[in-house]
Structure 1
Amino acid sequence: MTVSNPAQNILQYESTIWSTADLLRGCGIKESEWPSYMMPFFALVMIESRLIRMLDELKAELGEDAFNESEAEERIQLIEDEGQGYNVYIFEKDQTLKDICQNDKSFDVDFDAYLNGFDGETKALLGVEAYEGEKFLDIKGVIAKLKAKKVLFSYVKEWSSIDLKPFNNSDITTLEEHIKRRWADISADTAGEQYTPDDVIALIAEIIASKIEDSDRLLKIYDCTCGGGNLLFGVEDRIKAKVNRMTQTFGQDWNDALYALAKIESRFRVDSKIEHGNTLTDDKFYNDEFDVVIANPPYGVDWKGFYPDIKNDKTQRFQYLPSVSDGQLLFMQHLISKMNATGMGVVVHNGSTLFSGDAGSGESNIRKWMLDNDIVEAVIQLPTDEFFNTGIYTYLWVLNQNKPAARKDRVMLINASEKFKPLKKNKGSKRKEVDEASRLEIVDTLEKWVDNDYARVFDKEFFYFNKQAIMLTNVDEQGRTFADRLKEGQKSLKLNPVKLDNGERTLTEFTMLSPPDPELEEGIDKEKALGIYHELDIKPFISSLDYKEQRLVVITEKAQYSFDAEQETLIKEGLGKREALGCGKIVVKSSFKKGTKTKAERIEITVELTADYQKDYEIIPYRRDPEENQAAIEAFMSKYITKPFEYLENVVGVEINFNKVFYKPEQLRSVEEILDEISTLDKELKELEQSLSL
């Protein structure tokens, strides 16, 4: 294996590679489009440098004689067995991209032959022959655009001067991460498309490494939204640097170009498998389980386009479905399903996965399912301004299928929002980084598992709550309710009104016998005129009757009924007597009735007096023991609910609220301090007035 020359810093090429965009800028290509032009050529020079290095290593190992023409077939087989790719120009003609760019006259033909000289998989990943369907890096499309702008030769020549051969795989991966980060700065259209910063990758790796022991057992690491592979491969490299373990990486991504970059990178790593496709609908590793799962799935990206596939999924990955507007918790459930019996994971999410959704919602039920099954070990709040294109808080969910006995049914919250160093120079929205000292402190806190000023351990039930539904019976000023007037089993008292009066209009006829005059109402069918006309006329009037907002009087043959808004009670008046019936409602309804043999078409109006019921919800702390929980609910009701009520359903919800746990009220200044400041300001104003009057 080639060792990097310490005198040469791989990151010196970052500015060189980025300078290729100067030519793109010069021919009017928008900055947001630069990544699509740069990605295929960056991949091209990465592949070429590694193939040249492989060739040099094989020559050193086997000798020059093994590469003469007579040994061509064996040589080709030997190289193909390496599984890192093949190119006719490099291995058979001993020519590189730089050689091809020496002659601008034959460049077009030679460059086309050079690209077609790659093996089939490399050509597919680069998009050399793509006509329909998956184009991956789409180098063919980029070439066509550059030709149209007459800058293809100049652009390729710029890239051909970049020589990465002296650097090993780890060095090139480091450079690739820096380049992809800068692409993320300018190409991410939404905050949901996140490139994971190096410092967050390092923190994730530190957490995982702290839980892994040296062993000869293979460590399988999986990222279900691996993108270009920076998180997956970055965690692998850092774990191997800290723990003596053989590793194998697995990743899947749906983005064509990022998948291609990750796939190319994987070919130069030992035992790495990267697949293309939508993890949620087409799990390429459906039969596999892993020791470590990691991911930084997209935030706030809807999944309604494949809702039927998710809803009908047969893998039993998805216990509950979150809102279609955000699929983060779908990825979370998928990752949990991929963990083996002793597996662990670290997943990056935004804050919505902690608290979105009410009790009984998909989001709340997913959180409850995770805590019920004791999978969550900790949640870590990271600083704001940590990512390149969003300033929001982000969170690391630490998952563990095999928690130590002391951590069973407990969860640690770590508020690491102040554990950072400001960057000397901002990188997009990224203004902070979790520096090494902070990372080690966070991991140490997680390992010690004791409370401190920024971390607390809770029984998991701390995050549960009862959402108890009740049906309140409203009462008037005297504590009376119309429900007391009703017989057992009776829900309302039906009235037979002869008149309804709301002060603006009265309605006295409940069976209308006269259809409208056809001469006045043109186009009305005489047979249907009666019902339709009066339905259109009466229904809006009925729906506008409001016994609370305006005075409504219901007059029957024996009495009249109304609602006294001041006393919040129904009033019955008749025979010179005024009686308060208790808090209740006047319900007026109208309906169209078809004609029968004995009755004509008509509008029927009904009036009922009912109790005033109101459905309400109370949020009550949860207790693990069912009897204790019910006792706590009853104690809460006894203390805070004064109206008559009935219990309805109780739904247990789960939310994780960092603000509630770590809230620090602002320290108010003393009255003396404020008065002293006012006195000082008053003195300064007087002195200023005196100076102005001179």
Structure 2
Amino acid sequence: MHTSSHNKLVSFIWSIADDCLRDVYVRGKYRDVILPMVVLRRLDALLEPTKEAVLEELAFQRDEAKFTEWDENGLRQASNYVFYNTSKWTLQMLHDTATNSQQILQANFEDYLNGFSANVKEIIDKFKLRSQVRHMATKDVLLDVLEKFTSPYINLTPYEKEDPDGRKLPGLTNLGMGYVFEELIRKFNEENNEEAGEHFTPREVIDLMTHIIFDPIKDNLPPVMTIYDPACGSGGMLTESQNFIKDEEGVIKALGDVYLFGKEINDETYAICKSDMMIKGNDPANIRVGSTLSTDEFAGTTFDFMLSNPPYGKSWSSEQKYIKDGKDVIDPRFKIQLKNYWGVEEDADATPRSSDGQLLFLMEMVSKMKPLSQSASGSRIASVHNGSSLFTGDAGGGESNIRRHIIENDWLEAIIQMPNNLFYNTGITTYIWILSNNKADQRKGKVQLIDAGQLYRKLRKNLGNKNCEFAPEHIDEIVKVYTEMQAMESHGEQQIAAQVFDNEDFGYYKVTIERPKRLKAQFTPERIETLRYDKSLQEPMQYAFETFGESVYSNIKQHEKELLEWCEKNDLNLSSANKKKLLKQETWNKHANLVRWASDMEKLFFGDTLFTNYNDFEKEVSDALKGKKEVSASDKKAILNAVSWYDADAKKVIKKKERLTGDKLQKLLHHLGCKEDQLADFGYFPTEKKGEYIIYETESDLRDTENIPLKENIHEYFLKEVKPHVDEAWINLDNTKIGYEISFNKYFYKHTPLRSIEEVTADIMELERQSDGLIAEILNLS
């Protein structure tokens, strides 16, 4: 369909809303009528030519064959579609036989709706069309709306026809219908102050994706193909993929059948998608409604091709219970195993943060790739994402683990950066991820990044946030760069850049760098007093003690009401567990005992002594508490923590001393991958005794991490970048994690030198010359 015809049709349909629904619906609710009526008229117009054949088949089944249940196959053959209508009505007949009675028209209309096959009835139910028909009849506008949609000046059929004035009305193809649907969605959403084009992927983006996915194997396509979109919206990705492989003009690119599968959570767009599948002759049962993340609708099924533009920046908190049980992943689609630093495979979390579930859709597609044992060509995936999928998430986190899982399995072929403002509902930069589990030889172990962010042409009129588009020549250029796996820099009129990397270039070790704990210690009344309160209940306990005095140690319950009112007044918002703990007599008695024991030690043993060697201090405290069975290990630890603090001038705190000789030493050296004289760099510090090593306590506040590229040696990096600055630091290899991230800015950023002072000065002088006398003129001084 030509753009001008498409725009006229959209304007005509929009005018129906303004002419008939203005006083019946608020503008934001026009879509509740217009969208289902467009779908209904589309289906109705297709069934009109075979109406008599369907009624004849119905009469045959009823009168001659004496069927007690309709033979659906016979009715479908009669209608020439996978849907049919057994009522005597068409929309045109409803209009032509209508009287002034809206009630009769409503009854006939409902009889017409009830005559549809079950697959169309589901669409009608998803649109809630019956309630809209009743509402329009009540408001006396049903006939007006029907008149508009049966107008001879509007053509929703796939066939060209003439209007009453002899003008040609081009047929509305499935592709044209997709444009109309999505343009109406965009307009309705804008009227309702919602995100424009919420379900719409620009057609040129789909065109690019289909070229990238199908062109590399166009001469070796599977004999029967399956295509899947886990967030199919109104079905644009699916139908365009099918059109690309086997177009409507009869030019066969694929000899075998093409089967489309999809899932959509929104009832309205699901109904649109399903109707389009039926019109095109696809099996509508392959389109499912519901949350892709909550339910694995196609469990056990794999697909040849998958294309999708999943929602990004959308929370999946409400679906978490279907995917995770606490920290454990229970859905096999998101269960993966990754090797730790030592090469041992471990279960890993493959779920992103709950505020953005777009990578879950990518994992859904990855889980449905065909293994090469099933298909020689494997599976190919194209998925649109925003920038967060490239770099959010730390090493060991869900997002990073997903990237690592994909890259280390060598499934990522390329990522294409697209221009800003290319989509209707967002101006942000977007990216197409291209995956395959059957890479060409030259792509194995490699990832291609293509920066097409400056490759576009401007639109004459913005559509939502969309102010630019890919021209056909831009798509050809991107496909050429991808196909030839070129590396190039952008310069002059060259608006596209590309680079090729090894898979490992995107990986890094997140290495923990430790420093020793150094503590001073001293018993003072102020430090001892901190033991009186639980750290999590500091404020309410301090208030209670200062307000009620010693009575809190005999009966805290008598102060319950006043204490809880004070907490509420001061917005402390205590959890039920903390409320219970606060009002528990044992809590108060425990902290009173801690204060008493610490005070006793201050008086009897230590006085004002300041210890700069915590190791000696801890031994003396332990000796002082010998025989006091009522003082537990946790009580002792609480007392020690209360009266000690970090000081860089204090001695290092020894955790333990360890003997390392013989096989034990050799195993450790092999484990760490170092020599004996390098053990201090890994936290084993030799003493004067041969074979004895000190392991120090670590200071968590001074703990740091270093991100070290996978291609670099951790120890060499440490000696070069860390040791010269912090001599007492060491590497904690056991905490090493592996992460992956991809930064387009890092690889494609071009520094623009600052202008010279002479150029800037000249510009300032020119501006002063141009504005000379302007102030005087404004103030009427000239």
**Shorter-chain TM-score tier:** 0.7 to 0.9
The runs of 5 or more residues in structure 1 that have no matched partner are 128-135, 475-481, 483-491, 511-517, 543-553, 563-571, 573-579
TM-superposed deviation, 1:693? 8.5
Counterparts of 2:408 and 2:216, CA distance in 1: 23
1:164 to 156, 168, 171: 156
Q: Structure 1 residue 251 and structure 2 residue 262: aligned? A: yes
Report deviation, 1:283. 2.6
Shift of 1:193: 3.8
Q: For residues 45 and 585 of structure 2, what CA distance do their matches in structure 1 show? A: 83
Match of 1:118 in 2: 116
Moved more, 268-277 or 407-416: 268-277
Cα drift, residue 30 of structure 1: 3.0
Find the partner of 1:305 among 318, 323, 336.
318
8 Å contact kept, 1:191–1:299:
no
1:672 alignment partner AA: E
CA deviation after TM superposition for structure 1 residue 598, in Å: 9.9
Q: Distance in 2 between matches of 1:194 and 1:509?
A: 59
In structure 2, give the amino acid aligned to 1:459. D
Name 1:184's counterpart in structure 2: 186
Give 1:456's aligned residue: 499
Alignment of 1:664-679 (within 5 A): 664-679=750-765
Per the alignment, residue 650 of structure 1 pairs with 736
> What are the equivalent positions in structure 2 for 1:471-620 lying under 5 Å apart?
471-473=514-516, 482=518, 495=522, 497=523, 499-500=524-525, 524=551, 527=554, 560=608, 607-608=643-644, 613=699, 614-620=701-707
Q: Is the 8 A contact 2:20 2:144 kept in 1?
A: no
Structure 2 residue corresponding to 1:277, chosen from 290, 312, 333: 290
The corresponding residue for 2:396 is 360
Distance 1:199 1:452 in 2: 23
SS for the counterpart of 1:37 is: helix
1:420 and 1:438 in contact (8 A); partners too: yes
**More displaced stretch, 297-306 vs 368-377:** 297-306
Deviations 1:435-463 (A, max 9, x none): 11111111111111121121111112221
Equivalent pairs: percent with the same residue? 27
In 1, Cα distance between equivalents of 2:13 and 2:74: 32
8 Å CA contact 2:225–2:259 kept in 1: the answer is yes
Match of 2:539?
none
Q: Name the structure 1 match of 2:536.
A: none
Q: What SS does the corresponding residue of 1:258 show, helix, strand or coil?
A: helix
SS at match of 1:364: helix
- Kindly report which structure 2 residues correspond to 1:412-451, keeping only aligned pairs within 5 A, or say none: 412-451=448-487
Task: Identify the match of residue 723 of structure 2 among 629, 638, 643.
Answer: 638
One-letter code of the match for 1:329? L
3-state SS in 2 of match to 1:338:
coil
Q: CA RMSD in A?
A: 4.4
- SS of residue in 2 equivalent to 1:211: helix
User: How does 1:277-356 map onto structure 2 within 5 Å?
Assistant: 277-311=290-324, 313-319=330-336, 320-341=350-371, 342-356=378-392
Deviation (angstroms), 1:669: 0.7
Matched, 1:663 2:749: yes
Structure 2: distance between partners of 1:641 and 1:508 = 33
Distance 1:660 1:378 in 2: 16
Question: Which AA in structure 1 matches 2:318?
Answer: G
Partner of 1:235: 241
Q: Hey, what does 2:200 align to over in structure 1?
A: 195
Determine helix, strand or coil for the equivalent of 2:515.
strand
The reply to whether residue 401 of structure 1 matches residue 437 of structure 2 is yes
Sort the Cα spacing of 1:268 and 1:662 in 2 relative to 1 into closer, same or farther, 3 A.
Answer: same
1:411 is aligned to 447
Task: Note if 1:33 corresponds to 2:29.
Answer: yes
Contact persistence 2:35–2:181 (CA under 8 A): no
After superposing the two structures, state which structure 1 stretch, 633-642 or 204-213, moved more. 633-642
**Does the 8 Å CA contact 2:288/2:297 hold for their aligned counterparts?**
yes
Checking the alignment, whether the CA contact within 8 Å between 1:467 and 1:619 is kept in structure 2 is yes
What do the CA deviations read for 1:309-330 (whole angstroms, capped 9, x no partner)? Answer: 1126454444311111111111
Deviation at residue 674 of structure 1 after TM alignment = 2.3
Q: Secondary structure at the match of 1:398?
A: strand
CA contact under 8 A between 1:389 and 1:428: conserved in structure 2?
yes
Matched residue type, 1:621: I
SS at match of 2:245: helix
Over 3 Å counting, the alpha-carbon distance change for 1:508 and 1:339 in structure 2 is closer
Deviation at 1:238, TM superposition (A): 2.3
Amino acid corresponding to residue 212 of structure 2 in structure 1: I
What's the counterpart of residue 260 of structure 1?
Answer: 271
2:508 & 2:252 partners in 1: Cα distance? 41
State the alpha-carbon separation in 1 of the partners of residues 4 and 761 from structure 2.
Answer: 64
Matches of 1:166 and 1:234, distance apart in 2: 16
Which shifted more, 667-676 or 307-316?
A: 307-316
The equivalent residue for 2:670 is: none
Residues 186-225 of structure 1: pairs in structure 2 closer than 5 A: 186-187=188-189, 189=194, 193-214=198-219, 215=221, 217-225=223-231
Query: For 1:311-361, what per-residue CA distance to the aligned partner results, in whole angstroms no more than 9, with x for missing partners?
Result: 264544443111111111111101011121311010011111111111111
SS at match of 1:423: strand
Is residue 84 of structure 2 the alignment partner of residue 98 of structure 1? no
C-alpha contact (below 8 Å) 2:158/2:173 kept by paired residues: no
1:386–1:430 contact (8 Å) kept in structure 2: yes
SS in 1 for 2:488: coil
**1:349-382, CA deviations, whole angstroms, 9 ceiling, x for partnerless residues?**
1111111111111111111111111111111111
> Contact 2:158–2:172 (CA<8 Å) still a contact in 1?
no
CA–CA distance in structure 1, aligned partners of residues 629 and 260 of structure 2: 81
| Structure 2: gaps of 5 or more residues | 66-70, 161-170, 337-349, 372-377, 490-496, 533-544, 557-583, 596-601, 649-698
Task: Provide the residue aligned with 1:149 in structure 2.
Answer: 139
Equivalent-residue separation in structure 2 for 1:154 and 1:693 (angstroms) = 67
CA contact under 8 A between 1:208 and 1:239: conserved in structure 2?
A: no
Structure 1 contact 385–431 (Cα < 8 Å) conserved: yes
Work out whether residues 293 and 361 of structure 2, in 8 Å CA contact, stay in contact via their aligned partners in 1: yes
Partners of 2:299 and 2:530 lie apart in 1 by 72
C-alpha change, 1:521 and 1:608, in structure 2 (3 Å) is closer
8 Å Cα contact 1:323/1:362 also seen in 2 = yes
CA contact (8 A) 1:85 1:118 kept: yes
Q: CA deviation at 1:663?
A: 1.5
Q: When you count helix as a share of all residues, which structure comes out higher?
A: 2
> Which residues of 2 match residues 372-387 of structure 1 at below 5 A?
372-387=408-423
TM-score (norm 1): 0.76
Q: What are the superposed Cα offsets for residues 552-611 of structure 1, whole Å, 9 maximum, x if unpaired? A: xx999778567xxxxxxxxx7xxxxxxx889xx99xx9xxx9xx9999xx9996523556
Partners of 2:706 and 2:323 in 1: CA distance = 32
SS of 1:101's partner is helix
- 2:653 is aligned to none
Higher mean Cα deviation, 630-639 or 370-379? 630-639
Cα drift, residue 684 of structure 1? 6.3
**Distance in 2 of aligned mates of 1:615 and 1:44:** 68
Q: Distance in 1 between matches of 2:280 and 2:725?
A: 64
Alpha-carbon shift at residue 203 of structure 1 (Å): 1.1
- Supply the AA of the counterpart residue of 1:252: K
Shift of 1:34: 2.3
CA distance in 2, matches of 1:49, 1:455: 49
- How far apart, CA to CA, are the structure 2 residues paired with 1:41 and 1:230? 20
Corresponding position of 1:514: none
In structure 2, distance between residues paired with 1:85 and 1:7: 30
SS in 1 for 2:18: helix
Kept after mapping to 2: 8 A contact 1:219/1:291: yes
Q: CA deviation at 1:619?
A: 3.2
Q: Distance in 1 between matches of 2:11 and 2:399?
A: 44
8 Å CA contact retained: 1:493, 1:610: yes
Structure 1, 23-32 or 663-672: larger mean CA deviation:
23-32
The separation in 2 between residues aligned to 1:669 and 1:630, in whole angstroms, is 42
